[in-house]
Each structure stands twice: as structure tokens, then as C-alpha cells.
Structure 1
Amino acid sequence: ALAEQTEDTDLQATFARLAKALSDNETNIIDDLNNCQGSPVDMGGYYQPDAEKVEKAMRPSATLNNLLSNAL
């Protein structure tokens, strides 16, 4: 939707690049997300989890993380 709008060409270009990159890397991203399913995760505690461990568990695809970070 954002890649297809025409009111802001800079926004359009940014999201068009992101959409293409996501599409090109779809298989790798889905594999990353599927491969982490079903295993217990050490969060460093239940009531006070370790933020780094939680972030690693909740963002298992380095490819997706890099694409999103570079899009901003």
C-alpha cells in the first residue's frame, strides 16, 4: 500500500525497496521463523527476563531484522 501510493514519492521509493527486499528474501525469512518454533527459550528469568535474551528470541530472523533496520 505505501509502495503504491503516489502522494509522497520518497515514501513510495523507500517502501518499494523494502517490499522488493522482503519479497526477494521471503524464503529465508520464513525458514528462520519456522526453525525457531517448538523449542524452549531461556529468557533469563520469568518475572524479570533478560532484555537481550528476549529480543534474540522474539527476533529470530537476522535477514528480516537487517531489512527493517535499514529501511528506517
Structure 2
Amino acid sequence: MAKVKMKTNKTAAKRFKVTAKGKIKYWKGGVSHYNTKKTSKRKRQGRKADYVPENIADRVKQLIPYQV
């Protein structure tokens, strides 16, 4: 009998990308609207992508098993 495949969490697959070196990259939320009250620094830093911290990277990798 064939091995059962794991299901990819589709919401996680849309939000995370695995780089060539194996780091998990994500794009920050909360910068689309209500920007007048936010500082320039906060808006600028929201435009950049960031990497998932090491302490939760294992949990994110379980959600996207075939992208790792």
C-alpha cells in the first residue's frame, strides 16, 4: 500500500518562501492601510521581507513539508 502524503497548509504556502540556503522568508503585514498614524520608520520596515526566527522555523516547516 502506498504511503499517505502529508497535506500542505495552503495559507502557509502562500505566506512563506524557502530560500536556497533553507531560510524561511515572509512578508510583513499591516502596512496596507491606516498609514497616517504610523511612523516613517515603521512603514519603511514593513516594506521589507524578513526571515522567520529560528525558534519557530521548525513549526513553519511542518506546515509546508514539500517546499523545504
TM-score range, shorter chain: under 0.3
- Structure 1 or 2: larger strand share? 2
TM-score, normalised by the number of residues in structure 1: 0.25
More helix by share: 1
State the TM-score, normalizing by the size of structure 2.
Answer: 0.26
If asked which structure has higher relative contact order (CA below 8 Å, sep 6+), I would say 2
